[in-house]
Amino acid sequence: MKKFISKITYSILTGKDYRIYVLATINKRFIDKVQELTSEIFRYKRKGDNWLEKLLDDTYKKKGKTNKFKLLWFGGLNDKTVKNMTGGTSKKEVCLDLGKKNIEALKLLLKEFESGKNLYQIKIIIRKDNEQVELDNIESLFFVNIVSAMKLTIQGGAWSEVGKKTEKGLLFTIFQLLKVPEDDYVLIFDEMKKKGLVENREIDAIVFNKDKEPLTVELKLLGIGNPEIGDEALARKVDLFLIDRLTDMMKRESEKIGVKVIEFRQEDPLMEIYKFFILKNVNCSPPRRMSSKQLEERINQIIDSWRESKEELKIIKTLKEWTK
């Protein structure tokens, strides 16, 4: 995972599109999950009729988050859909009930379509070694529905995971490359809140200038196409908002309320961050001139050294000194 984060960080800090790495992760997970789900469908289909209902019932009895996701997928559903349908809950018994109802509704719909003429027929054959099972028209469409539900889940999860796993490491890398002293920044929100440095809204980082005045930093990797992300950051009225890209309208709004926006999708975003820090009297140095290979190697070293648990201990110690 650290290698993955390093590649994303390098892409971001050189103004490139990092999303190809996320898509590669999604595709890898998709292929793995297709194999996993197909294996279970293969086994249950060999057992005879009503295999999908039996598969749902047996999956319901199994514990763990992974099996809960499978229960949703086998019913052609995903967690977000179930919560929207039920007003917020996605308990296993609810997933089982809605999954069975969804299957029955799909059966009725497909039978109506079967009576139509000149329709394309889908039949899926699953082979393993010298054995094979053939799904009928309706079962084949169930299979397509299962795979589609799974894809929606892992796709949304991957983008969210990138944000959670990359953002703190990216900020740490920025501070390291600009030689901001370790005692001059905070990356863990809980300790910020405990010591009264922030209110209830989470802030990604606080940087202290030479006068020990705090500067709040918000970082988001997805901007255009996700306007609510910009709204959240502007509502916090942070000092510095780092983002992949932001709409012109959002940029104008940020200027009005005094939020500095720096987009990563430009030639040298790191230099722009440095200029802002210098303007705000932060103790830092300009980014060192490096070849692409040298920068990539340096980022790898920084990400390898990043330990969030270690950062937490350092922050607790530092905050005690600042708030005596």
Are residues 129 and 240 located together in one domain of the fold?
no
One-character DSSP codes across 186-253: E--HHHHHHTTSS-SS--SEEEE-TT--EEEEEEES--TT-HHHHHHHHHHT-SEEEES---HHHHHH
Q: What is the pLDDT of residue 322?
A: 41
Provide the 10 A C-beta neighbour count for residue 26. Answer: 18
Q: Which pair of tokens denotes residue 125?
A: 């054959």
**Among 177, 178, 201, 181, which residue's Cα sits nearest to residue 189?**
201
53 with 130, same domain: the answer is yes
pLDDT for 225 beyond 60? no
Which tens digit of pLDDT belongs to each residue from 156-171?
A: 777 777 777 788 899 9
Structure tokens belonging to residue 196? 């009264």
d(CA 176, CA 285) in angstroms, rounded, equals 10
Q: Which of 96, 128, 159 is the last residue of a domain?
A: 159
- How many independent structural domains does the chain possess? 2
Looking at per-residue pLDDT, the higher value among 155 and 13 belongs to 13
On whether residue 308 sits in a domain, the answer given is yes
In a domain, 42, yes or no: yes
Residues 6 and 155 in one domain: yes
pLDDT score of 230 more than 80: no
Domain limit, last residue, from 102, 126, 159: 159
Q: Are residues 154 and 183 in the same domain?
A: no
Residues 74 and 129 in one domain: yes
Do 257 and 158 contact (CB within 8 A), yes or no?
no
- Asked whether residue 145 is domain-assigned, the answer is yes
166 in any annotated domain: no
Q: Does residue 238 surpass a pLDDT of 70? A: yes
Domain match, 202 and 317 both: yes
- pLDDT at position 323: 39
> CATH number of the domain that 318 lies in?
3.40.1350
C-alpha to C-alpha distance for 313 and 190, rounded to whole angstroms:
12
Residue 165 lies in a domain: no
The reply to whether 218 and 312 lie within a common domain is yes
84 and 219 both lie in a single domain: no
Residue 172 belongs to a domain: no
Residue 107 lies in a domain: yes
Residue 278 has pLDDT above 50, yes or no: yes
pLDDT, tens digit, for every residue of 75-119? Answer: 999 888 888 888 887 788 988 999 999 999 988 888 777 666 677
Instruction: Print the domain residue range for 117.
Output: 2-159
Strands 205-208 and 185-186: antiparallel
Q: What is the pLDDT of residue 223?
A: 47
Residue 173 lies in a domain: no
Instruction: Tell me if 41 sits within 8 A of 143, measured CB to CB.
Output: yes
